[in-house]
Amino acid sequence: MESQKLLERFFAGEISEKEIEILKSWLEKDPENRHIFDRENELWQETALYTRLESYKTDSAWSSISEKIGAGGNNKKEIAIQSILRHRILLAAASVALLLALGSFSLWIGSRISFKHSAALPVTIMTNDGNKAHILLADSTEVFLNSDSKLEYNGNYGIKDRVVRLSGEAFFDVSSDPGKTFQVQTDQMNITAKGTKFNVLSYDNEDRIETTLEEGEVQISIKGMDAINIKPGQQVVFFAKTREVVVRNVATDTYTSWKENKLRFNDTPFEEVMRNLSRRYNVNIEIADKELLSLRYTATFIDESIDDVMKMLKAVSPITYKIFNRTSVSDKNYLNPKIIINSRRQSVKTNNPKLI
């Protein structure tokens, strides 16, 4: 076992000049000896990994490498969003105590929740991708909150006034109360109503804010513009970038049927369809070929799985797609399912065996 000692002294940096000559001739003598050296070397390195030597810092290594490949900023943002989400869920859970994470529609339907509030504390209700909520306010006004949306109101809602703040999408069935108007506030648009049914869409990641009136009357005010009154069957769309306002007649159920778990598209641009699917099914969708953006869809999906929806879209338009299932990253991290969409003639070849 003299050689073993020599190897240990070598790796520990304790070997003498004389011993190193002995080690050298021992290594030259037999390939088996060199394999022993290699194994001992691996063991030595392996134990260093366990101790995670200071010099191998994965985080800083990743930031330096992601800078070099031009991915730095993007990536940080993703992580930030994830942690904010977690935080938001906690907040909402604390203030409402229930109501969230209503995974599927059947659950959602089965969990109509009402609650009374005593204190004047603000209430926040939040939904994630893939979830919806049904809220019954103190005055019997019903709110259907779509995925990835947030509804806020003060604890004294209904006592002096009826004001809620929305980001995302919601359908309101406002109970009639002649004394107090009902108001939905969004970033750019306020909607005032008495007893009505209407839908408001105001997602941060969409350029437009949209109010669709099903019944009754609403008044829409946009900063710096005259108030607009619309009739049932009409829709107001405000494009934030160009500050353009469009009032048009629409089939309202195209815009409100999401609350019955239907997805309706009516000559809807491709990108918007994909954003809808992404929110509804909690998947990341990547459009690989920008030429597809000119496509438009008219379709209704009722309770279909995302696989079926994609199959149907593929059947009626020149697209191909690939679904990647939820992947576990490490112990507690997961990548969302992802769908990459390409145009059919430029499908991606994945079987191209070639080494770098």
Partner 1 sequence: MDQLAVRIKLGDIQAFELFFRKYYVPLCGFTNKFLNDPEQSKEIVQEVFIKVWENRKDIDPDYPLKAFLFKIAQNASLNKLQRKKVESKYIEIYKLVYIDHKEFSVHESLLARELEDNIATAIGKLPCECKRVFELSRIEGLKYSEIANVLNISIKTVETQMSKALRSLRLELSEYLTFILIVVLLNPF
Which residues lie near partner 1 (CB under 8 A)? 4-5, 8-10, 12-14, 17, 20, 23-24, 27-28, 31, 34-35, 37-53, 55-56, 58, 61-62, 64-66, 68-69, 71, 74-75, 78, 288, 322, 324-325, 327, 329-330, 335, 338, 340, 348, 350-356
Least Cβ distance, residue 353 to partner 1 (angstroms)? 4
Least separation in angstroms between residue 272's CB and partner 1 is 23
Taking the complex as a whole, the smallest distance from the CB of residue 324 to partner 1 amounts, in Å, to 6
Phi, psi (degrees; rounded to nearest 5) at 167: -130, 130
Least separation, in Å, of the C-beta of 84 and partner 1? 17
Rounded to whole angstroms, the Cα distance separating 264 from 275 reads: 13
Nearer to partner 1, 24 or 243 (CB): 24
Distances (CA, A) of 72 to 63, 78, 286, 308, 336: 6, 11, 19, 36, 20
Integer-rounded Cα radius of gyration of the chain: 30
Give the residue among 226, 211, 172, 227 at the shortest CA–CA distance from 194: 172
Helix (H), strand (E) at residue 253: helix 253-256
Nearer to partner 1, 40 or 253 (CB): 40
| Least spacing, CB of residue 38 vs partner 1, in Å | 6
As given in the structure block, the two tokens for residue 86 are: 């977690």
Cα dihedral across residues 94, 203, 174, 280: positive or negative: negative
Identify whether the C-beta of residue 112 lies closer than 8 Å to the C-beta of residue 134. Answer: yes
Query: Judging by DSSP bridges, how do beta strands 284-287 and 338-343 pair with one another?
Result: parallel
Q: Measured between alpha carbons, how far is 40 from 5 in angstroms, rounded to an integer? A: 11
Of the pair 44, 239, the CB lying nearest partner 1 is at 44
Contacts of 53 (CB under 8 A, 6+ apart): none
Query: Which residues lie closer than 8 Å to 177 by C-beta, 6 or more apart?
Result: 139, 162, 194, 195
Question: C-beta of 74: minimal distance to partner 1 in Å?
Answer: 7
Q: 279 burial class (0-12, 13-18, 19+ CB within 10 angstroms)?
A: buried
- Least distance CB 128 / partner 1 (angstroms): 18
- Residue placing its CB nearer to partner 1 in the complex, 70 or 224: 70
Residues in Cβ contact with 149 at an 8 Å cutoff, skipping those fewer than 6 apart: 126, 127, 166, 167, 168, 169, 170, 203
Nearest distance in Å: CB 245, partner 1:
38
Asked if 288 contacts 341 with a C-beta cutoff of 8 angstroms, the reply is yes
| Residue with Cβ nearer partner 1 (41 or 176) | 41
Closer residue to partner 1 (CB): 273 or 339: 339
Nearer to partner 1, 7 or 220 (CB): 7
Minimum CB–partner distance for residue 12 and partner 1 (Å):
6
Q: In terms of CB distance, is 205 or 350 closer to partner 1?
A: 350
